[in-house]
Amino acid sequence: MNRSENHSKPGLCSMALLMVTLVAGCNGSTTAPNLSPTTPGAGPGTGTAGAHGPAPVVLGTAGSYVILAKSAISNVPTSAITGNLGLSPAAASFITGLTLVLPAGGTFATSAQLTGNVYASDYAVPTPTNLTTAIGDMQTAYVDAAGRPTPDHTELASGSIGGLTLPPGLYKWSNTVTIATDVTLNGGPNDVWIFQIAGGVTQASAAKVILTGGALAQHVFWQVFGVVDIGTTAHMEGVVLSQTSITLKTGASANGRLLAQTAVTLAGNTVVQQ
């Protein structure tokens, strides 16, 4: 007998277990490890253990700014902003209501209403180049978020999401989303939400986006083609990627980032980078 044929079945199974990651048992059963667990209604796992929802949107250098815009950043004092502001290609003269202090030849300005720095396209090098890169990264992030396929939920509640509790996942609407009352995003610290919105977002006065279960603002992405209008004393959570403009009305607040491909308008707001 050929010695290579004189192996027991248990011996063959032991060798197979060492050589492959898809384990075929001797009884013929087959199992595969689940590296990206998901929950009902959630999208593919992010690849992080215990995470649910799509992979997060990569912001690149745009993530260095709590507010980033292309045409203008305006403010009605007094706001409290934590993080850096950036404006490009518009010049610093299109940043209003913040009383900027710019040293001679400075690469950034400061403001008493800001814990962070203000960068504009006409400040000293390397600021103009850095801002061009950040604006490009912002646009890339928007395209990424808008292009994610196979949403878990389409046209949920016809866009009227106030009062709902939303698990992590990819959500898509063909029109405006309204938040008339509080909406809750419930999930863990590694879970991800992406909202694809072909219209705008209108958040009513005093309505809040609430995170529970350890969910983090940095893992919530609002990709919005139209105007984002956050009402008086309302509260937003997440990274807002707007093709158009973002407006926070008097007393509104936001945790996350406001990244607009036109203008960001503030009025006595609290905005904190997270």
Task: Give yes or no: residues 124 and 17 share one domain.
Answer: no
Task: Give yes or no: residues 73 and 28 share one domain.
Answer: no
pLDDT given for residue 90 in this prediction: 98
What confidence tens digit (pLDDT) does each residue in 63-81 have? 999 999 999 999 999 999 9
Q: Is residue 54 part of a domain?
A: no
Judge contact between 263 and 97, C-beta under 8 A.
no
Task: Give yes or no: residues 83 and 120 share one domain.
Answer: yes
Task: Give yes or no: residues 22 and 65 share one domain.
Answer: no
Task: Give yes or no: residues 135 and 94 share one domain.
Answer: yes
Q: Which helix (H) or strand (E) element contains residue 115?
A: strand 114-115
Q: How far is CA 30 from CA 23, 25, 104, 120, 228, in A?
A: 6, 6, 70, 59, 50
Contacts of 129 (CB under 8 A, 6+ apart): none
Task: Give yes or no: residues 16 and 141 share one domain.
Answer: no
pLDDT given for residue 50 in this prediction: 72
Task: Give yes or no: residues 24 and 157 share one domain.
Answer: no
Q: Is residue 66 part of a domain?
A: yes
Task: Give yes or no: residues 2 and 69 share one domain.
Answer: no
Q: Is residue 45 part of a domain?
A: no
The strand pair at 23-24 and 30-31 is best described as antiparallel
pLDDT given for residue 201 in this prediction: 98
Domain count across the chain:
2
Q: How far is CA 263 from CA 46, 86, 162, 165, 239, in A?
A: 32, 11, 26, 30, 15
pLDDT given for residue 142 in this prediction: 99
What confidence tens digit (pLDDT) does each residue in 153-182 have? 999 999 999 999 999 999 999 999 999 999
Q: Is residue 76 part of a domain?
A: yes
Q: What is the pLDDT along the chain (274 residues), one digit of tens a residue?
A: 443 334 443 443 333 333 333 333 333 332 222 223 333 233 444 546 578 999 999 999 999 999 999 999 999 999 999 999 999 999 999 999 999 999 999 999 999 999 999 999 999 999 999 999 999 999 999 999 999 999 999 999 999 999 999 999 999 999 999 999 999 999 999 999 999 999 999 999 999 999 999 999 999 999 999 999 999 999 999 999 999 999 999 999 999 999 999 999 999 999 999 9
Task: Give yes or no: residues 247 and 206 share one domain.
Answer: yes
pLDDT given for residue 49 in this prediction: 56
Q: Is residue 53 part of a domain?
A: no
Task: Give yes or no: residues 9 and 122 share one domain.
Answer: no
pLDDT given for residue 272 in this prediction: 98
Task: Give yes or no: residues 83 and 164 share one domain.
Answer: yes
Which pair of tokens denotes residue 137?
A: 């990264």
Q: Is residue 188 part of a domain?
A: yes
pTM of the prediction? 0.83
Which pair of tokens denotes residue 132?
A: 């061009």
Q: Is residue 222 part of a domain?
A: yes
Q: Is residue 44 part of a domain?
A: no
Radius of gyration of the chain (CA): 24
Contacts of 12 (CB under 8 A, 6+ apart): none
Task: Give yes or no: residues 80 and 128 share one domain.
Answer: yes
Cβ neighbour number for residue 142 with a 10 Å cutoff:
22
- Domain with 119, as residue range(s), is 60-273
